[in-house]
Chains A and B, each alone.
Chain A
Amino acid sequence: MEINEFVKNFANQFDETDASEFTPATDFRQLDEWSSLIALSVIAMIDEEYDVVIKGDDVKSSKTIQDLFEIVKSRKKS
């Protein structure tokens, strides 16, 4: 798993937010476009691309995209 690819996949779930706004350190819940529906798309993307199912609490406990990346990475190993 590679963080830049994860950030790109994460950014692809947004329609209006410019891709340049996304970095590993992005506090994603502060983005104007962030919503519970985008969260569903992120859960779907992680299932599709990484074969890991994350839950609502995983999204809530992550502040940055890097945080979420680390959760997915740890689940992938186990």
Chain B
Amino acid sequence: MAGAVPCRVIDNLQYMTERYGEENVKAVVEKVGVYERRFADEKTCSSDLCFAAADKLLTENNIDRSEIDLLIFISQTPDYRMPATSVILQNRLGLPTTCMSYDINLGCAAFLYGLSTVYALMNTGCIRKALLLDGETRSKVYSANDRHEAYIFGDGGVAALIECNEKFGESYFSINADGAMSDLIMIPAGGYRKMSSAETVVEKVIDEYGNMRSEEQGFMKGQDVFAFTLTHVPKDIKKVLAFAGTTIDNADFIVLHQANAFMNSFLTKKMKLDTDKVMNTIHKFGNTSSVSVPLTIVSELKDKLDGDKTILASAFGVGMTWASAVLPFCNCRISDIVEVENGEPVK
């Protein structure tokens, strides 16, 4: 695995204080636990972050690119509405035209969706090696003038090379979706239900506190998302553990979607998780949506996945979709995180 982040580091306390004043900001930053995050510059897209990560992974591990038969790019911040960004990455990475390439348009739970999709396709026996790429530039999605969302989101990209071999053991997934809650996290305009117009890009005041956003910027009903998480995530983790015939004690590491520190520490406490096993990056990368689970693995578990290790992962968000997995790792090699500027890896 390999990861990439933009080189621009945002000091969240300073960045938010400039907008909202010292008095209000400190308590919020402490509660959400985002002290630093990375913001992509104008020329850097999710695909550039994934390219940098994938190129490093393939080069460092001497991978024959002609053996890659599948590329999946996960993102809700693609390069274009069409064509799919995965196809652009297939060419940019020098992969063969026989490489099946497509995008998965999902948010926070998407890495586990993508992983289960890759594993299922690999079980057909038709895929030698697969690249699962997951990138987000969430900083470009939310309004800096809307306090509900302005504090937490950041950018990043991850590449995972996957091979099928019995030595890795079995993986177990619980994958879920409930579109009845599709309005909890949303960008209402800019798709084909409500097309982009001069009107949809204008930031407007949306509440009595003077928060502003346009219809092409994201919003989140934070209290309902929190209630959703409390109701669904602990049950789903129990379900996947039972399905795998194991217990939480057998997991070497636990990686939850990095939503915000308040939510994650509450979940950790509620489920009585061993805090030594729970990996966190919310303080340095913020919430990077679907990237947060693999970015946390890349950032916190480098050189810790030697031999046979098991990761329990759970992710939840926009859709709503949620997923949990028991994942064996066998001698997984992780590269150093690459920094990206102007769409290119920084040498």
Query: A residues within 8 Å of B by Cβ?
Result: 15, 36-37, 39-41, 43-44, 47-48, 53-57, 59
Contacts and interface: CB of A to CB of B under 8 A. Distances in A.
Given A36-B148, A48-B270, A56-B221, A43 B226 contact: yes
B227 A55 contact: yes
A11 B306 CA distance: 48
A64 to B, nearest CB: 18
A55 B226 CA distance: 8
Interface string B253-277: 0000000001100100010000000
Contacts of B266: 44
A72 to B, nearest CB: 13
A40 B270 contact: no
Interface of B: 27-28, 31-32, 148, 221-224, 226-227, 230-231, 262-263, 266, 270
B227 to A, nearest CB: 5
Contacts of B224: 55-57
Contacts of B221: 56
A36 B222 contact: yes
A24 B74 CA distance: 49
A20 B31 CA distance: 25
Nearest to A39: B223
B230 A53 contact: yes
Contacts of B230: 43-44, 47, 53
B284 to A, nearest CB: 21
Nearest to B222: A36
16 contacts: A37-B28, A37-B32, A40-B263, A43-B226, A43-B227, A47-B230, A47-B270, A53-B231, A54-B227, A55-B223, A55-B224, A55-B227, A56-B221, A56-B224, A57-B224, A59-B223
